[in-house]
């Protein structure tokens, strides 16, 4: 059963990542936020916008898959396989990103500027600020929704599979 | 001033009044990056900038309202100013002279590779450099996004500068000057000494994270790269003779109005600069008019700018796809058709010339000449060695079919007269041009027409109708529309478009009468007003005056053509830019500025002059 779950997780991870990415990118298109997590990831590895965008999307999809396994481990550890638990985990994950991980970026990202150190030839990207509010006032809300959808889709997929096996 | 020389004219500008009295239209110069364009006054103020493209909402609109927003950098003591474009580029140099010293401001929008590097979507870079002594300056940045409908207080972001945020857009002001906040504006006072530089960078992003470009050496590099880009681009301009500087300036100006992402060329980067001061004839020209297509293509091909010619043709044939084979008279830079017109009642207009309009209600008019313009453009391109693909040929054949169906209908004419339609003679001539060029392209195997015989029959029928009804025997000239006794300067294009020879008797007599009746101070109006026409006092049209020169040159009357050309050049502003209209009495520029079509006329006239220039004995000998 675990083997079957692992294989399915590959697909669910992809579906959940696609949903989350679509929400985040659509939020940029509709003017809710200017943040692009794939671009942030990709630009850590390349100073070319074209390369950064492609690399970023590849890494982001890969990250989505890897996190799917972590989510599944959590579901298994508490023995609850539901969409709502997935959504809650996604919300917590999103809050962690916004409060802890993203504000740290100016200190670890090689191309991100900081308000304290200013701009250099290499560091020119706008820093996110607390809750990534620099990228738009609704960035935090959109990120939380996208993460909740990611977790919710994963949880729902596992829930459906469980129901089918029973 | 020697007409061949762009020596700049010094103008005394009192700092106490600068920024209060609205500058004349001709006091502006254009900078841009082939995506957006900004107008910089000779008092160092950017008074017009739309983002993220030419027809986007304004961020600086002081041009149209004192509260429209601006970015001003100028001495805080009385000064005189001279300015020029750095040779063959779109980088503007404004030199301020004061009692205690002089300094210059270099303005540009860096043209850089945004894919191979990480750059902001758009940037305005202003570099202030001390030349001699010391000069006290005042700088002010006061963006008013969305045509000044939005007022935003900027957020201070430490060493990253000040961020103006609205919707999903950001304008980040990064500078080594010590700006402080005053309401929605940030201001700085500073003194610059000899050899020192200060920088103000306005970086804009929409829907993506802001990139904040560095200052200092990196900003100098961006300036140098931009200068190099423009010089490389200008070097491809093929034009010899004494008027090369003016032609290159016109070509650069045309390039500044070419949207590099689609190849579209806008008519002008502004809206609602009045055709009459205080009047209501204020239109939005930040769109692409097909009526300009043929002449524009002739200019691009004539100058050897083949990449731009190809891009422009691609836009013409493909951006218009949604309405094909019917063509609108104008589209936006992406080929969008719905240019709904509205009025911005909160803006007072240039020198109180209301209303300020955005969008253009003329987009839904029927104008038959546009079909001829598009086919002529494709023909000019193909004759110059350009290749048309199968989709291009299909589109052009579709245009031929629609011309055969529609040429008998009345239209609004090249000047987009609102109200009653007529059978405009020039529109019929351009229908003839459309079919004639298609037949020519069929004959030289550029494309294959399904029924060339019937197209020839239609072409000849148009010709006959123009000769029977468009020529007014009592006037001994072609008239504005069938049955009219009024003249229209567009008919000067008949020989240029190959309808009849320049030496033809009817063409020559029409030319004489137009020059007789439409000329004011050596400049031509576009038409004789009708008895019911409200537009009785409009300015003269630069383009019409250039058409006359072109025809004279074609006829071999070089001396007269050159005399008129030199006279016309004297109406350009200190940096060689022309508006749509010229007030024949005061010589002031009127209407949207600068105007692509006028610069196209300048280029084509200069090329025609060079072709007609008599060969000197020494040249014959060599």
What contacts B491, CB < 8 A, 6 or more positions away? B425, B426, B429, B477, B478, B510, B514
Q: How far is B260 from chain A (nearest CA, A)?
A: 18
Question: Domain spanning B11-233 has what CATH number?
Answer: 2.70.98
Burial of B68 (0-12, 13-18, 19+ CB in 10 A): buried
Name the token pair of B227: 């200068």
Q: Which among A28, A125, A135 has CB closest to B118?
A: A125
Which residue among B159, B206, B213 places its CB closest to the CB of A124?
B213
Cβ of B211 and A136 within 8 Å? Answer: no
| Residues on B contacting A at a C-beta cutoff of 8 Å | 114-119, 157-160, 163, 165, 167-168, 170, 172, 174, 205-215, 218
Q: Give phi and psi for B171, each to the nearest 5.
A: -120, 110
How many CB atoms within 10 Å of residue B513? 19
Q: What is the pLDDT of residues A30-85, one digit of tens each?
A: 889 999 999 999 999 998 888 999 999 999 999 998 999 999 999 999 999 899 99
pLDDT classification of A4: cutoffs 50, 70, 90: low
Chain A residue with minimum CA distance to B207: A34
Number of A to B CB contacts under 8 A, please give it.
88
What was the pLDDT predicted at B16? 42
* B540-541 and B185-193 strand pairing: unpaired
The phi and psi torsions of B23 (rounded to 5 degrees) equal: -65, 160
Fold held by B236-621: Glycosyltransferase (1.50.10)
- Are domains B11-233 and B236-621 of this chain identical in fold? no
Angstroms from B167 CA to nearest CA on chain A: 6
Domain extents for chain B?
A: 11-233, 236-621
Listed residue (A90, A63, A55, A62) closest to A74, CA to CA: A90
Alpha-carbon gap: B170 to the closest alpha carbon of chain A (Å): 9
Run of H or E including B512? helix B505-517
CB A162, CB A81: distance < 8 Å:
yes
Q: Is-contact B91 B29, C-beta < 8 A?
A: no
For residue B565, give the nearest of B588, B587, B542 by alpha carbon.
Answer: B542
What are the residues whose beta carbons fall under 8 Å from the beta carbon of A93, sequence distance 6 or more?
Answer: A67, A147, A150, A151
CA distance A85 to chain B (A): 32
> How far apart, in whole angstroms, are the C-alpha atoms of residue B607 and residue B611?
6
How does pLDDT run across A92-148, given as a tens digit for each residue?
Answer: 999 999 999 999 999 999 999 998 888 888 899 999 999 999 999 899 999 999 999
Residue pair A87/A148 in contact by the 8 Å Cβ criterion:
yes
Alpha carbons B252 and B90: distance in angstroms, whole number? 7
Q: What pLDDT score does B618 carry?
A: 64
Half-sphere exposure at residue B16, Cβ-oriented, CA atoms within 13 angstroms: 0
Residues of chain B with pLDDT under 50: 1-17, 19
Asked whether B284 and B50 are in contact (CB, 8 A), the reply is no
Asked if the model's pLDDT at residue A3 lies above 60, the reply is yes
The model's pTM: 0.91
pLDDT given for residue B113 in this prediction: 72
Nearest CA in chain B to A33: B168
Cis bond before residue A165 (omega within 30° of 0):
no
Judged on CB neighbours under 10 Å (0-12, 13-18, 19+), A71 is: buried
* Residue A15 C-alpha, separation from nearest chain B C-alpha, in angstroms: 25
Kindly list the residues from chain A whose CB atom is less than 8 angstroms away from the CB atom of residue B145: none
Closest by Cβ to A52, choosing from B118, B158, B215: B118
Distance of CA B380 to the CA centre of its chain: 21
- Res. A8 pLDDT band, cuts 50 70 90: confident
Three-state DSSP class for residue A125 = strand
Q: What does the alpha-carbon distance between residue B173 and residue B164 come to, in Å, rounded to a whole number?
A: 8
């Amino acid at each position: 059963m675990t083997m079957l779950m692992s294989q399915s997780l590959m697909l669910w991870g992809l579906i959940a990542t696609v949903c989350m990415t679509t929400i985040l990118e659509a939020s940029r298109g509709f003017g809710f936020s200017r943040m692009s997590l794939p671009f942030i990831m990709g630009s850590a590895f390349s100073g070319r916008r074209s390369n950064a965008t492609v690399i970023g999307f590849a890494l982001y999809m890969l990250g989505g898959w890897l996190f799917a396994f972590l989510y599944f481990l959590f579901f298994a550890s508490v023995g609850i396989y539901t969409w709502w638990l997935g959504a809650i985990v996604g919300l917590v994950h999103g809050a962690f990103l916004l409060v802890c991980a993203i504000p740290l970026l100016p200190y670890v990202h090689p191309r991100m500027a900081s308000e304290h150190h200013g701009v250099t030839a290499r560091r020119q990207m706008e820093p996110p600020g607390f809750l990534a509010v620099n990228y738009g006032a609704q960035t935090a809300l959109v990120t939380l929704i996208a993460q909740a959808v990611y977790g919710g889709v994963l949880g729902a997929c596992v829930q459906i599979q469980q129901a089918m096996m029973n | 001033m020697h007409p061949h020389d762009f020596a700049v004219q010094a103008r005394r500008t009192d700092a106490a009044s600068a920024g209060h009295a609205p500058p004349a239209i001709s006091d502006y110069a254009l900078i841009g990056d082939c995506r957006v364009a900004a107008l910089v006054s000779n008092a160092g103020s950017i008074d017009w900038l739309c983002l993220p493209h030419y027809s986007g909402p304004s961020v600086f609109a002081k041009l149209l309202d004192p509260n429209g927003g601006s970015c001003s950098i100028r001495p805080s003591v009385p000064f005189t100013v001279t300015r020029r474009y750095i040779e063959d580029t779109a980088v503007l140099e404004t030199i301020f002279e004061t009692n205690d010293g002089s300094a210059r401001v270099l303005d540009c929008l860096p043209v850089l590779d945004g894919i191979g590097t990480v750059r902001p979507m758009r940037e305005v870079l202003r570099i202030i450099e001390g030349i001699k002594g010391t000069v006290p300056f005042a700088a002010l940045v006061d963006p008013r996004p969305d045509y000044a409908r939005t007022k935003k207080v900027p957020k201070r972001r430490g060493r990253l500068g000040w961020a103006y945020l609205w919707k999903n857009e950001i304008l980040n002001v990064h500078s080594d000057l010590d700006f402080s906040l005053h309401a929605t504006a940030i201001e700085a006072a500073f003194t610059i000494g000899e050899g020192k530089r200060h920088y103000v960078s306005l970086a804009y992003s929409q829907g993506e994270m802001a990139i904040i470009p560095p200052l200092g050496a990196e900003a100098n590099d961006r300036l140098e790269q931009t200068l190099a880009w423009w010089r490389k681009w200008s070097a491809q301009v093929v034009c010899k003779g004494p008027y090369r500087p003016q032609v290159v300036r016109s070509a650069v100006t045309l390039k500044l109005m070419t949207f590099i992402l689609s190849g579209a060329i806008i008519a002008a980067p502004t809206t609602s600069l009045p055709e009459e001061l205080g009047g209501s004839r204020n239109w939005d020209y930040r769109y692409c008019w097909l009526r300009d297509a043929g002449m524009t293509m002739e200019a691009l091909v004539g100058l050897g700018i083949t990449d731009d010619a190809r891009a422009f043709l691609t836009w013409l044939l493909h951006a218009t796809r949604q309405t094909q084979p019917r063509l609108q008279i104008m589209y936006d830079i992406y080929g969008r058709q719905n240019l709904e017109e509205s009025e911005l009642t909160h803006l007072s207009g240039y020198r109180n010339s209301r209303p300020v309009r955005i969008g253009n209600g003329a987009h839904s008019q029927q104008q038959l000449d546009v079909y001829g313009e598009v086919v002529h453009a494709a023909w000019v391109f193909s004759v110059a060695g350009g290749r048309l693909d199968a989709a291009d040929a299909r589109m052009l054949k579709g245009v031929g079919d629609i011309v055969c169906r529609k040429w008998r209908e009345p239209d609004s004419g090249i000047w987009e007269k609102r109200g009653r339609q007529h059978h405009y003679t020039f529109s019929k001539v351009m229908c003839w041009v459309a079919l004639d060029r298609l037949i020519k392209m069929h004959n030289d195997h550029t494309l294959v027409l399904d029924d060339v015989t019937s197209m020839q029959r239609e072409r000849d029928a148009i010709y006959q109708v123009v000769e029977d009804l468009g020529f007014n025997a009592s006037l001994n000239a072609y008239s504005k529309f069938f049955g009219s006794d009024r003249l229209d300067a567009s008919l000067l294009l008949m020989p240029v478009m190959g309808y009849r020879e320049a030496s033809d008797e009817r063409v020559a007599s029409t030319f004489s009468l137009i020059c007789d009746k439409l000329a004011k101070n050596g400049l031509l109006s576009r038409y004789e007003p009708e008895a019911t026409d409200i537009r009785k006092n409009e300015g003269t049209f630069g383009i019409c005056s250039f058409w006359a020169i072109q025809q004279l040159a074609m006829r071999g009357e070089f001396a007269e053509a050159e005399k008129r050309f030199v006279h016309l050049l004297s109406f350009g502003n200190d940096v060689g830019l022309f508006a749509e209209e010229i007030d024949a009495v005061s010589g002031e520029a009127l209407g949207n500025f600068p105007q692509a079509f006028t610069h196209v006329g300048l280029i084509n006239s200069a090329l025609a002059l060079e072709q007609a220039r008599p060969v000197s004995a020494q040249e014959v000998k060599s």
